[in-house]
Amino acid sequence: MYRFVNGNDYVEIDIGYFDDESEKGKAVDLEVALAFRINGFCGKGASYMLARQMQVFAAEIVGLEKTRRGGARLVHAAGELSFEIRSLDRLGHMGILCRVTEYGHLGPDYLPFEASAFMEISPEQLAAFARQWWVTVYGG
């Protein structure tokens, strides 16, 4: 789990662990969970991501960390989870956009509950995020 922080606000992204010891170090499908609290708004959700999506995202994270331009985006195919880090300017300022959708019952109805937010982060947080274990496995 990695936690991006800006004052009292945070975004946590948790890349699931391998269920099977034989899968360690291999690029396999994993669960990704997001939780955030930004300006009093909260959200949390999780979805399984395909190994190929994780490989593309890891490569984008590495490229973004090197150039400090562009962005890196991870989006669930059904739209239940979205996480993006992008460059905000040419000075290295970074921002996170995230969105989650959870489903629940409200009386007899089964409804989607959506939350989204934006938070600015320091470039140092991006550098630390790029050193996470899964970036090595999927970006390799």
Q: What is the pLDDT of residue 69?
A: 94
The pLDDT of residue 18 is 58
The pLDDT value given to residue 31: 92
Given this model, what pLDDT does residue 84 score? 98
Strand partners of residue 6: 9
Sheet holding 94-106, edge to edge: 71-75, 81-87, 94-106, 109-121
32, two tokens: 């990704």
pTM of the model: 0.88
> Per the structure block, which two tokens stand in for 20?
């099977």
* Separation between Cα atoms, residue 58 and residue 47, nearest integer Å: 17
Element (H, E) at 53: helix 51-67
pLDDT of res. 11: 97
So where are the chain's domains? 2-139
pLDDT (tens, 9 = 90+) of the chain, 140 residues, equals 999 999 999 999 999 875 665 566 677 888 999 999 999 889 999 999 999 999 999 999 999 999 999 999 999 988 889 999 999 988 889 999 999 998 888 889 989 889 999 999 999 999 999 999 999 889 86
pLDDT of residue 19: 62
Please give the Cα distance from 20 to 4 (Å, whole number).
29
Query: What's the CATH class of domain 2-139?
Result: mainly beta
CA distance 26 to 140: 10
Q: For position 140, what pLDDT does the model report? A: 65
**CA–CA gap between residue 139 and residue 71 (Å, rounded):** 16
DSSP 3-state of 113: strand
